[in-house]
């Protein structure tokens, strides 16, 4: 599903954000990406959604070499890869349902089918009762669930979460993680970049650790620290 | 269809969200268009005046009484050979006298002898070429056939100079206005892009096409242009009776004709240019402020 072959990313000032990274993620896998700030987690995620290109090496996402995508290829890639961020990135002037439906609207879908899809994901994340509220009326956990619903509404093959619990208290963090586990069980490949050691240690999933741009550890049922 | 709906809604919201800046841009567009219209009308009027004078431009060669018909005919055909000449008419002494009588301005008492000379009246096809021709014809004076040369293209010459100055000056002013207008629109759209940066980021993340991200801004620019065009056309329509009255009074002799076709062309041109400038400015802005 995801393949990074000998990937390096060097910034113009000469520092390496990633160096000689080889990574394979199979369909349906659940992967934690851990490492200190600046280890390269966010860069790796930006490469996967083609926010950035590699300096050397190849990134393949769902059979597409992302560097070779042209024109409409990039939007199509991003519809296959849902992304969730620490800061939710919700539109404050739109309701929960509108925020979710926005992802359908701007990719050319609307009407009844769009409403049904929106209802489906809102039910999945448990927010049907909050659908007409604005983001400022929601708790942090509810805002993050809205952003997960938006990421899922295009039925992506892969869901990437960059510090999804970074702004949330421990209890809410657990709710979000349980939701993400459920999404993974429904068949979506999941990559979560996180600093949350408790969660990583409790779930015992695959852990890929980055340090100074290199993969230093890749364990099947890993812990946050070696 | 839905995407079109989104495009227009987003463009309209963008226009309203930053109403002051949008309105300022539209006023700039309107100002440019009013100026453009003013120049177009002034040029049109002058062009007609020039054409009118051109049709009257002639050079008269008064002939010696002693000139022989064969010499006169030879001179006539030599003048006719010049491509800028449209027609050469021979006016005999008798005809000249008859004209004088018919004019009625002078009481022509019985004259024993006819004091008026015969003449060749040369009509020109192109007024600009008059000086060259008169220069050439002046050389005939005193050679035995031509007694005197009278020309009136000086008026046309002045008129042509004014027209050219106005065209050049108008073009320069319009070019500057166009530049300013483009600049203002580029800035307006830049602010619109900035105001919607979160929305744009999300659109890109969820896989909206570049076109869908860019077109609302292009449409917003066109909206600014159209609003400007409507203001300009309103101003022009309101001022038209007064101005055309004043121009008619000033021009007097010149039969000005700004028929319906001209008005329609002008309105179409104003609207077209407004759309072009709006879309162009927005396009420039989106290109430089919106990373794909």
- Which tens digit of pLDDT belongs to each residue from B245-282? 776 665 554 555 566 677 788 889 889 999 999 999 99
Q: What is the pLDDT of residues A11-51, one digit of tens each?
A: 899 899 999 999 999 999 999 999 988 899 999 999 999 99
Residues 6+ apart with CB under 8 A from A22: A4, A5, A6, A7, A215
Does any domain span residue A104? no
Give counts: helices (H), strands (E), chain B: 9, 4
Helix H or strand E encompassing A163: none
Distance in angstroms (rounded) separating the CA atoms of residues B189 and B25: 10
Q: How many CB pairs lie under 8 A apart between chains A and B?
A: 54
Q: What is the pLDDT of residues B226-245, one digit of tens each?
A: 999 999 999 988 887 777 67
Contact (Cβ atoms closer than 8 angstroms) between residue B12 and residue B4: no
Is residue A2 very low, low, confident or very high in pLDDT (cuts 50, 70, 90)?
Answer: very high
Is residue B96 very low, low, confident or very high in pLDDT (cuts 50, 70, 90)?
Answer: confident
Domains of chain B: 2-52+157-289 (no CATH), 58-151 (3.30.70.3040)
For chain B, give the percent of residues with pLDDT over 70. 85
Does any domain span residue A10? yes
For residue A22, give the CATH number of its domain.
3.40.50.300
Contact (Cβ atoms closer than 8 angstroms) between residue A188 and residue A156: yes
Distance in angstroms (rounded) separating the CA atoms of residues A31 and A95: 31
If DSSP codes are grouped into helix, strand and coil, which group holds residue A106?
A: coil
Using CA coordinates, name the residue in chain B closest to A160: B205
| B10 interaction partners in chain A (CB closer than 8 Å) | none
Mean pLDDT for the stretch of residues B152-161 = 68
In Å, how far from its chain's centre is CA A44?
11
**Is B206 in contact with A150 (Cβ distance < 8 A)?**
yes
Distance in angstroms (rounded) separating the CA atoms of residues A131 and B69: 105
Does any domain span residue A82? yes
Nearest CB among A72, A106, A110 relative to B206 is that of: A106
Predicted confidence (pLDDT) at residue B120 exceeds the cutoff of 70 = yes
Alpha helices in A63-166, H assignment, sequence order: 73-80, 96-105, 111-125, 140-152
Closest CA to A159 of A91, A220, A90, A79: A79
More confident residue, A131 or B36: A131
Instruction: Among B1, B196, B205, B210, pick the best mutation site for testing chain A contact (most A Cβ within 10 A).
Output: B205
Nearest CB among A75, A108, A150 relative to B3 is that of: A108
**Is A79 in contact with B198 (Cβ distance < 8 A)?**
no
Distance in angstroms (rounded) separating the CA atoms of residues B191 and B285: 10
More confident residue, B64 or A118: A118
Does any domain span residue A17? yes
Q: What is the pLDDT of residues A138-179, one digit of tens each?
A: 999 999 999 999 999 999 999 999 999 998 999 999 999 999
How many domains, chain A? Answer: 1
Nearest CB among B5, B198, B207 relative to A75 is that of: B207
Does any domain span residue A31? yes
Give the bridge partners for A9, in sequence order.
A18
Mean pLDDT for the stretch of residues A110-137 = 93
Distance in angstroms (rounded) separating the CA atoms of residues A150 and A147: 5
- Beta strand A64-65 with A56-61 is antiparallel
Sign of the four-CA dihedral B48, B50, B51, B55: positive
CB-facing half-sphere around the CA of B133: CA atoms within 13 A = 29
CA angle B89, B92, B93 (to 5 degrees): 145
Q: Which residue shows structure tokens 């006023």?
A: B27
Tell me if chain B has a CB within 8 Å of the CB of A89: yes
If DSSP codes are grouped into helix, strand and coil, which group holds residue A92?
A: coil
pLDDT at B103: 65
Distance in angstroms (rounded) separating the CA atoms of residues A165 and A88: 10
More confident residue, A140 or B96: A140
Contact (Cβ atoms closer than 8 angstroms) between residue A216 and residue A23: no
More confident residue, B91 or B258: B91
Q: What is the pLDDT of residues A63-81, one digit of tens each?
A: 999 999 988 899 999 999 9
Tell me if chain B has a CB within 8 Å of the CB of A69: no
**Is B207 in contact with A154 (Cβ distance < 8 A)?**
yes
Phi, psi at residue A61, to the nearest 5°?
-125, 120
If DSSP codes are grouped into helix, strand and coil, which group holds residue B254?
A: coil
Is residue B129 very low, low, confident or very high in pLDDT (cuts 50, 70, 90)?
Answer: confident
Sign of the four-CA dihedral A200, A203, A209, A210: negative
Distance in angstroms (rounded) separating the CA atoms of residues B183 and B185: 5
Is residue A137 very low, low, confident or very high in pLDDT (cuts 50, 70, 90)?
Answer: very high
Tell me if chain B has a CB within 8 Å of the CB of A78: yes
pLDDT at B259: 64
pLDDT at A78: 93
Mean pLDDT for the stretch of residues B128-136 = 76
pLDDT at B110: 63
Is residue B156 very low, low, confident or very high in pLDDT (cuts 50, 70, 90)?
Answer: low
Closest CA to B200 of B214, B189, B190: B214
Instruction: Among B10, B206, B210, B212, pick the best mutation site for testing chain A contact (most A Cβ within 10 A).
Output: B206
Tell me if chain B has a CB within 8 Å of the CB of A112: no
pLDDT at B66: 83
pLDDT at B56: 65
**Is B207 in contact with A109 (Cβ distance < 8 A)?**
no
**Is A106 in contact with B198 (Cβ distance < 8 A)?**
no
Predicted confidence (pLDDT) at residue A100 exceeds the cutoff of 80 = yes
Distance in angstroms (rounded) separating the CA atoms of residues A77 and B227: 39
Instruction: Among A52, A75, A78, A102, pick the best mutation site for testing chain B contact (most B Cβ within 10 A).
Output: A75
Residue B109's CB is within 10 A of a number of other CB atoms, namely 5
The length of chain A, given as a count of residues: 226
pLDDT at B44: 75
Q: What is the pLDDT of residues B179-238, one digit of tens each?
A: 988 988 998 888 888 888 888 999 999 999 888 889 999 999 999 999 999 999 999 888
Question: What domain range is A160 assigned to?
Answer: 2-60+74-92+155-219
Using CB atoms and an 8 Å cut-off, which of residues 18-47 of chain A contact chain B?
Answer: none
């Amino acid at each position: 599903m995801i393949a990074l072959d000998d990937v390096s990313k060097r910034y113009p000032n000469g520092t390496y954000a990633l160096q000689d990274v080889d990574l394979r993620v199979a369909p349906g896998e659940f992967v934690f990406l851990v490492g200190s700030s600046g280890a390269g987690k966010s860069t790796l995620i930006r490469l996967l959604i083609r926010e950035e290109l590699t300096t050397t090496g190849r990134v393949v996402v769902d059979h597409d070499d992302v560097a070779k995508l042209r024109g409409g290829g990039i939007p199509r890639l991003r519809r296959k890869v849902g992304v969730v961020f620490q800061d939710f990135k919700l539109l404050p002037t739109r309701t929960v349902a509108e925020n979710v439906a926005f992802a359908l609207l701007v990719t050319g879908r609307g009407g009844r089918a769009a409403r049904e899809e929106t209802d489906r994901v809102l039910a999945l994340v448990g927010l049907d009762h909050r659908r007409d509220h604005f983001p400022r009326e929601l708790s942090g956990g509810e805002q993050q669930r809205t952003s997960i619903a938006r990421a899922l509404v295009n039925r992506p093959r892969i869901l990437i979460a960059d510090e999804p619990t970074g702004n949330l208290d421990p209890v809410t963090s657990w709710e979000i993680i349980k939701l993400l586990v459920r999404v993974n069980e429904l068949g979506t490949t999941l990559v979560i970049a996180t600093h949350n050691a408790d969660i990583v240690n409790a779930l015992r999933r695959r852990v890929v650790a980055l340090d100074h741009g290199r993969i230093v550890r890749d364990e099947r049922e890993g812990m946050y620290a070696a | 269809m839905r995407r079109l709906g989104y495009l227009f809604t987003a463009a309209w919201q963008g226009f309203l969200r930053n109403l002051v800046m949008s309105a300022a841009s539209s006023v700039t567009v309107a100002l440019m268009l009013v100026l453009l219209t003013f120049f177009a009308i002034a040029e049109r009027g002058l062009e007609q005046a020039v054409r009118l004078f051109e049709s009257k431009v002639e050079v008269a060669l008064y002939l010696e009484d002693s000139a022989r018909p064969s010499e006169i005919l030879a001179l006539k055909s030599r003048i006719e050979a010049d491509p800028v000449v449209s027609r050469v008419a021979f006016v005999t002494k008798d005809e000249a006298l008859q004209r004088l009588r018919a004019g009625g301005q002078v009481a022509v008492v019985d004259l024993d002898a006819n004091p008026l000379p015969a003449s060749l009246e040369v009509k020109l096809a192109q007024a600009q070429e008059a000086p060259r021709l008169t220069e050439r014809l002046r050389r005939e004076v005193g050679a035995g056939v031509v007694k005197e040369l009278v020309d009136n293209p000086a008026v046309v010459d002045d008129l042509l100079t004014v027209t050219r100055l106005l065209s050049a000056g108008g073009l320069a002013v319009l070019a500057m206005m166009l530049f300013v207008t483009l600049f203002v629109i580029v800035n307006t759209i830049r602010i619109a892009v900035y105001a919607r940066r979160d929305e744009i980021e999300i659109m890109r993340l969820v896989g909206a096409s570049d076109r869908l991200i860019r077109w609302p801004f292009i449409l917003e620019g066109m909206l600014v242009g159209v609003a400007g065009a409507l203001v300009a056309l309103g101003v022009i329509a309101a001022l038209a009776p007064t101005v055309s009255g004043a121009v008619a009074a000033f021009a007097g002799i010149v039969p000005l004709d700004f028929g319906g076709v001209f008005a329609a062309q002008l309105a179409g041109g104003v609207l077209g240019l407004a759309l072009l400038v709006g879309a162009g400015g927005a396009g420039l802005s989106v290109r430089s402020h919106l990373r794909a």
